[in-house]
Amino acid sequence: MKDALRLLRLMAPHAGWMALAILVSALATLAHIALMATSGWFIAAMALAGATGASVNYFTPSAAIRAYAVVRTVGRYGERIVGHEATLKFVAALRPWFFARLIPLAPAALEDQRSGDLLARLKGDIDRLEFAFLRILSPVIAGVLVLGAGLAFLALHDAGMAVGIGTAALLAGLGLPLLVHRLGANAAREVTAGTAQLNALLVDHIEGRAELSIYDPDRRHRTALDETSDTLIAREHRLAGILGFAGAGVGLFAQLSLVLVLMIAAPRVLAGTLPGADLPMLALLALSLFEAVAPLPLAFQTLPSTLASARRIFGLIDRPPPVEEPATPQPVPEAGALAFAHAGLTYPGATAAALTDINLALTPGRRIGVVGASGSGKSSLVALALRFRAPGPGEVTFAGSNLAAFNSDALRRRMAVLAQHDHLFTATIRENLLIADPDASQGKLEAALERAGILAFVAAQPEGLDTFLGANGAKVSGGEARRLGLARALLKDAPILILDEPTEGLDGETERRVLDGLLGVGRDQSLLFITHRRAGLDAMDEIIVMDGGRIVARGAPTGMAALLGSGTISGGIPEDTARSAGSGQGLEQAPP
């Protein structure tokens, strides 16, 4: 009920169009009923007049029949035009509404969402909400209006007949739909959930096709996919069966109403209390009244799946945002120090802290290298710096102000980042780069590619910068993708540059070239350089060693040589080594 009311509130801005669509729909159905009833009366009246030789005015009824036919045709057309206009306006507003609420949740609050499921919510669930008006609200309200008018007309002729037909209409329009709802509610909800699950499995299946072909020769994943699909088809089959049964039920009640009219009206005609021509009029009126009842079983069948979709959408956007945006954000200074003061971080649901008591200051122009074992918290530092997560306890500041005082998007304008899992878009190299700087000239693009050590590769491609990268960069190697991501980060004019393992996947020689291009230039940016490797650390002003979410050692590169050795720092720094090396040249052991 809460979801239904919320859905109605979302429709409220389009109430004008919706009301018009319902009125036009009711008018078209009333015109149809009037056409049937008048035609029945007219044919019978003419026949009776012919048989008895009585004169009859046929101009008025034949003009009325023409008018009803025109209103019905135009009404049906208008019903679709206005109905779809109302629905499209609703859905067109719904998508940006949903998106605007989804974006602040990304990426942190959406980590547990499978991409296929997210896609299902974005597309299938939103699409299903359009049924809320077209299949549910509009036919129900129009049906009530038409039945009200039709029964009132019948009551003028015969109150008992109106009560009998009203009862039949109630059973067909409410009893049957409730039965349909009862029989099909579970199946309808399962169709909504099953569609999302099938989407998720399909996306997984396509994205993981290489892994599946290696690890799943027995096609277990494919079997699960087929089973989900079969279950979905079975549920839809059941729903179609229930709907067919309901459709037949409405037809049965319509025919019973016809019999009822004959049973009540025929004796009255014989008794002379009802004109003979009124009998077919009332019979056809009663029959066509069920036109307004026919869409109701579908409306009730659609209701649970529409509400399930609404619930899935509301459930997603009602998640608490990972960080609160300030009501009146402070302007973000052009430059300044990015500082962590006693900052900690515990991920929701985690038993242990990912970061504890982090203190560091990335002042303008300063370069800080961060090393540590896998899982020691390096990328979590980036999440705090970018305000994808909020620290707790402690604080992170930029130019002396807590990051919480800034609008997150405005803050991120001051940072260029190569993330650990940097995403290449399914687009050309140029389009991927221009995301960082839409106005970048050819020269600027090439300079960034050169600094990232990938210009020669791009230049060697037949289409150069306009080379298409394939799905998520599938057409380039891991090392090439990394350097393209690095070029994109370098393209952005931001005072802070954060690189999370920029040379991952590169051979020693390429790594050296990339680091020369990266670090061999002036210090117009401060740099947070996260790495597993020794290379590049000599150019840092300070090296921080992390272990278990804490800074266990820190110092100038001279002091790190003994500690880090050379080559890859694969396993991180064992704590006792860090402590014993703490007295080395320039290296201080961090406070526990």
Ligand X SMILES: Nc1ncnc2c1ncn2[C@@H]1O[C@H](COP(=O)(O)OP(=O)(O)OP(=O)(O)O)[C@@H](O)[C@H]1O
- 568 touching ligand X, by CB under 6 A: no
CB of 498: closest distance to ligand X in angstroms? 12
Nearest approach in angstroms of CB 563 to ligand X is: 17
Cβ-based nearer residue to ligand X, 222 or 423: 423
Q: Kindly state the number of chain residues that form the binding site for ligand X, as judged by CB under 6 A.
A: 13
- For residue 551, CA distances in Å to 302, 353, 358, 506 come to 57, 13, 7, 27
The residue (of 115 and 583) whose beta carbon lies closer to ligand X is 115
153 near ligand X (CB under 6 A): no
Q: For 343-361, give the DSSP string.
A: EEE--TT-SS-SEEEEEEE
Distance of closest approach, residue 117 Cβ to ligand X, in angstroms: 17
Residues in contact with ligand X, shown as a per-residue x/- string from 76 to 115 under the rule CB under 6 A: -----------------------------------x----
Beta strands in 200-314 (DSSP E): none
CA–CA dist 466, 519 (Å, integer): 28
Minimum distance of ligand X from residue 106's CB (angstroms) = 13
Residue whose CB is less far from ligand X, 204 or 547: 547
Report DSSP letters for 116-154, one per residue.
HHHHHIIIIIHHHHTHIIIIIIHHHHHHHHHHHHHHHHH
Is 326 among the residues that bind ligand X (CB under 6 A)? no
In which region does residue 328 sit, left (phi positive, over 0), alpha (psi from -120 to 50) or beta (all else)? beta
476: number of Cβ within 10 Å: 20
Closest CA to 295 of 178, 189, 177, 188: 177
Q: Do strands 415-418 and 496-500 pair parallel, antiparallel, or not at all (unpaired)?
A: parallel
Candidates 153, 245, 314, 347; binder of ligand X (CB under 6 A) is 347
Q: Quick one: which of 354, 384, 491, 578 contacts ligand X (CB under 6 A)?
A: 354
Residue closer to ligand X by CB (options 138, 380) is 380
CB of 358 to ligand X, least distance (A): 11
Output 314 or 347, the one with its CB closest to ligand X.
347
* CA pair distance 296, 462, nearest whole angstrom: 61
The site map against ligand X for 110-139 (x = CB under 6 A) is -x----------------------------
Is-contact 389 342, C-beta < 8 A? no
Residue closer to ligand X, measured from CB, 297 or 372: 372
- Nearest Cα to 158, choosing from 266, 249, 25? 266
Q: In what order do the strands lie in the sheet with 550-555?
A: 415-418, 496-500, 526-531, 367-372, 542-547, 550-555, 587-589
Check if the beta carbon of residue 24 is closer than 8 Å to that of residue 145: no
| Amino acid identity, position 185 | A
Site string for ligand X, 368-387 (x = CB under 6 A): ----x-xxxxxxx-------
Contact region for ligand X (CB under 6 A) — 61-69, 347-355, 410-418, 560-568? Answer: 347-355
Instruction: Please report whether residue 167 would count as binding ligand X according to CB under 6 A.
Output: no
Distance CA 108, CA 84 (A): 37
Residue closer to ligand X by CB (options 377, 502) is 377
Q: Shortest approach of ligand X to residue 534 CB, angstroms?
A: 15
503 binds ligand X (CB under 6 A): no
Which of 350, 441, 460, 592 touches ligand X (CB under 6 A)?
350
Instruction: Pick the closer one to ligand X by CB: 321 or 375.
Output: 375
Cβ count near 373 (within 10 Å):
18
Which residue, 137 or 553, has its beta carbon nearer to ligand X?
553
We find the least distance from the C-beta atom of residue 394 to ligand X, in angstroms, to be 16
CB 25 within 8 A of CB 80: no
CB 370 within 8 A of CB 530: yes
Distance CA 66, CA 48 (A): 22
The residues in 445-474 that bind ligand X, with binding defined as CB under 6 A, are: none
**Minimum gap (Å) between residue 233 Cβ and ligand X:** 36
Return d(Cα 373, Cα 570) in angstroms, integer. 7
Stretch near ligand X under the rule CB under 6 A, chosen from 40-48, 189-197, 367-375, 574-582: 367-375
Site for ligand X in 391-420 (CB under 6 A): 420
What is the smallest separation between the CB atom of 544 and ligand X, expressed in angstroms? 12
CB of residue 502 to ligand X, shortest distance in Å: 13
Instruction: Output 379 or 407, the one with its CB closest to ligand X.
Output: 379
Query: What end-to-end distance do the CA atoms of the chain give, in Å?
Result: 54
CB of 541 to ligand X, least distance (A): 21
Task: Please report the beta strands in 251-354, taking only residues with DSSP state E, as ranges in sequence order.
Answer: 338-345
Q: Which residue has the tokens 């300063």?
A: 366
Dist CA 158 CA 152 (whole Å): 10
Q: Which residues bind ligand X (CB under 6 A)?
A: 111, 347, 350, 354, 372, 374-380, 420
